[in-house]
A and B are shown apart, each in its own frame.
Chain A
Amino acid sequence: MSHAQSNPDYNIVVDVDDDEPTLEFQDFATATAQPGRMTTGGSSAPPPYQPPAGAEPGTSAHSVWAAEYWAQYFNVDSQDVVQRTYLAVVPKDSFLDVYNANPDLWGTFWIPTSVIFAMFVTASLSQGIAEALAGSQHAYDFTMLTFAVFTIYTYVLVVGALVYGSTKYFGSHPGLMECFSVYGYGMAVWIPVSVLCVLPFNWFRWAMVALGFASSGFFIMRSVNQIVSRSNGSLHKAIIPLLLVAHALLVVVFKFKFFSYSVSS
Chain B
Amino acid sequence: MSFLAPDQQASAVFTGVFALVCIGSCVVTLNCKLLGGHVSFFQSVCTLGYCISPMAIASLVTLLAHRIIVTLPVVAVAVGWSISAAVGFLAGAQLANRRLLAVYPICLFYICIGWIIIIS
- A joins B in a complex: yes
* Interface: A78 (CB within 8 A): yes
Q: Find chain B residues with CB under 8 A from A140 CB.
A: 5, 119-120
Binds A, one of B43-51, B57-65, B86-94, B98-106: B98-106
> Does A142 lie within 8 Å of B35, measured CB to CB?
no
Binds B, one of A109-117, A165-173, A216-224: A109-117
Residues in A94-112 with C-beta less than 8 Å from chain B: 106, 110
> Does B12 lie within 8 Å of A114, measured CB to CB?
no
Interface bin, chain A:
20 to 34
* Interface: B36 (CB within 8 A): yes
Q: Find chain A residues with CB under 8 A from B9 CB.
A: 142-143
Name the distance in Å between B93's Cβ and chain A's nearest Cβ.
14
A interface secondary structure, majority = helix
> Does B12 lie within 8 Å of A74, measured CB to CB?
no
Name the distance in Å between B74's Cβ and chain A's nearest Cβ.
18
* Interface: A146 (CB within 8 A): yes
Contacts A74-B34, A106-B35; A81 near B108 (Cβ below 8 A): no
Residues in A113-167 with C-beta less than 8 Å from chain B: 113-114, 117, 121, 124, 128, 139-140, 142-143, 145-146
Q: Which of A70, A71, A73, A106 interacts with B101 by CB under 8 Å?
A: A106
* CA gap between A124 and B116 in the complex, in Å: 10
Contacts A110-B104, A142-B13; A77 near B34 (Cβ below 8 A): no
* 7 residue pairs A–B, Cβ–Cβ below 8 Å: A67-B30, A71-B36, A73-B34, A76-B98, A106-B31, A110-B105, A143-B12
A-B pairs, top 7 by smallest CB distance, nearest first, are: A77-B97, A78-B100, A74-B34, A140-B119, A74-B35, A71-B34, A78-B101
